């Protein structure tokens, strides 16, 4: 019987088109994500009962949140960036960065980097960008490696313009969230151990209220939430909080028009099945290994140790040992290999000179 693709491959296929070359070291982030999700997927409350899901009824959980900032602090002018270190000449758009305190009691503050459009910024929508992880920096990854206005040059000291930057068509906020990611922090150390989806969404919502007081010209502007990876949780959950407040109070804290996410992490079991089936369909995994996975995995909450063992050769942390020099997120692309002297090479180049 011929192999058939199914809908589980859709999310992975998006990423295959999006990521050209991956560093082997960068795959550790994926391994950490899988470890994080696995640790949470089998946790019960202390008395063994099901824990309350705040997303089952967002209006009851979040509708009571304020619709405006009572004591705004900070100023737009204080956050203005005259120029970034190594910035190229003739930059024709405004940049800002700074902190917004989202919880006074704990001293929890989120860092943002904001770039306006060089093309009639007043007519462009506002986009909030959230990198995933959990734990990836929206400044270091999103702004400097993906959709921001600049790219870091190989010298590590200067910048060049990114002609595909999103601020060509929108005004973009890059938010480091939750506290503990990038430059965002808390003065209460225990916050780092208790971070979760609900608190992250509330903190991001509070950030928006305070930020809009600092940039009042964006009140009423068309607003979108965007992100990738674990933003498959962050983006819809923040949107759910905004909608819940609107339904509960009858007031619109923002002019939310929609969300969009690339390669979203939505469901651990669906992602697992889609990724593994993709590898099998493309000859990276043998028929025997795929059969063993299907024998021991139902791709649901009942999966146990035998399923983990069957899948473990294709966990990101073990992938290079199992499959060789192949990027699991773009199996036909070269990967970046670090030589003993510290220099890096494309695996395609290494393969060429080895013959």
Which tens digit of pLDDT belongs to each residue from 96-150?
999 999 999 999 999 999 999 999 999 999 999 999 988 899 999 999 999 999 9
Question: Which of 65, 143, 153, 155 shows the shortest CA–CA distance to 103?
Answer: 65
Rg over alpha carbons for the chain, rounded to the nearest Å, is 22
- What whole-number distance in Å separates Cα of residue 308 and Cα of residue 98? 43
The torsion angles phi and psi of 96, rounded to 5 degrees, stand at -145, 155
Q: What percent of the chain has pLDDT over 90?
A: 56
Q: Which of 49-63, 194-208, 257-271 has the lowest mean pLDDT?
A: 49-63
Q: How far apart are CA 224 and CA 84, in angstroms?
A: 26
Quote the DSSP letter at residue 139: I
| Structural domain total, the chain | 2
Distances 76 to 37, 70, 206 between C-alpha atoms, Å: 38, 17, 17
Residue 61 near residue 244, CB atoms below 8 Å:
yes
**184 with 299, same domain?**
no
Domain boundaries, position 296: 22-39+268-353
pTM across the whole model: 0.76
Q: Are residues 258 and 272 part of one domain?
A: no
Specify whether 212 is located in the same domain as 105. yes
Q: What is the rounded distance in angstroms from the CA atom of residue 1 to the CA atom of residue 20?
A: 33
Q: Is residue 45 one of the residues assigned to a domain?
A: no
Q: pLDDT tens for residues 291-308?
A: 999 999 999 888 899 999
Domain end, chosen from 264, 297, 324, is at: 264
Structural domain ending residue among the three candidates 264, 287, 308: 264
In a domain, 44, yes or no: no
On whether both 168 and 297 belong to a single domain, the answer is: no
Q: In angstroms, rounded to a whole number, what is the distance separating the alpha carbons of residues 87 and 202? A: 34
Residues 146 and 169 in one domain: yes
The verdict on 117 and 185 lying in the same domain is yes
User: Structure tokens of 207?
Assistant: 């950030």
Q: What are phi and psi of 136, to 5 degrees?
A: -85, 140
- Tell me: do 292 and 197 sit in the same domain: no
């Amino acid at each position: 019987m011929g192999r058939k693709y199914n809908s589980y491959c859709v999310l992975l296929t998006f990423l295959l088109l999006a990521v050209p070359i991956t560093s082997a070291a960068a795959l550790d982030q994926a391994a950490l994500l899988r470890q994080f999700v696995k640790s949470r997927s089998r946790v019960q409350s202390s008395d063994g009962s099901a824990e309350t899901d705040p997303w089952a009824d967002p209006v009851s959980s979040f509708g009571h949140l304020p619709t405006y900032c009572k004591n705004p602090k900070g100023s737009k002018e204080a956050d203005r960036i005259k120029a970034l270190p190594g910035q190229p000449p003739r930059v024709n758009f405004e940049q800002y960065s700074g902190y917004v305190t989202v919880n006074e009691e704990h001293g929890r503050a989120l860092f943002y980097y904001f770039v306006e459009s060089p093309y009639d910024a007043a007519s462009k929508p506002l986009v909030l960008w959230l990198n995933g992880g959990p734990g990836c920096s929206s400044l270091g990854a999103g702004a400097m490696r993906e959709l921001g206005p600049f790219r870091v040059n190989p010298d590590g000291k200067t910048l060049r313009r990114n002609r595909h930057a999103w601020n060509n068509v929108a005004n973009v906020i890059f938010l480091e969230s939750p506290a503990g990611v990038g430059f965002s922090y808390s003065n209460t150390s225990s916050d780092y151990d208790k971070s979760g989806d609900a608190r992250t969404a509330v903190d991001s919502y509070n950030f928006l209220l305070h930020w809009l007081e600092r940039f009042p010209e964006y009140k009423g502007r068309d607003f979108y939430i965007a992100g990738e990876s674990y933003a498959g949780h962050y983006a819809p959950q923040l949107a759910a909080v905004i909608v819940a407040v609107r339904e509960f109070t009858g007031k619109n804290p923002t002019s939310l028009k929609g969300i969009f996410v690339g390669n979203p992490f939505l469901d651990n079991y669906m992602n697992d099945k889609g990724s593994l089936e993709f590898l099998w369909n493309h000859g990276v995994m043998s028929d025997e290994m795929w059969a063993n996975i299907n024998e021991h995995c139902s791709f649901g909450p009942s999966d146990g140790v035998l399923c983990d063992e069957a899948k473990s050769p294709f966990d990101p942390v073990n992938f290079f040992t199992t499959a060789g020099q192949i990027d699991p997120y773009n199996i036909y692309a070269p990967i970046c290999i670090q030589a003993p002297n510290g220099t890096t090479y494309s695996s395609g180049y290494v393969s060429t000179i080895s013959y």
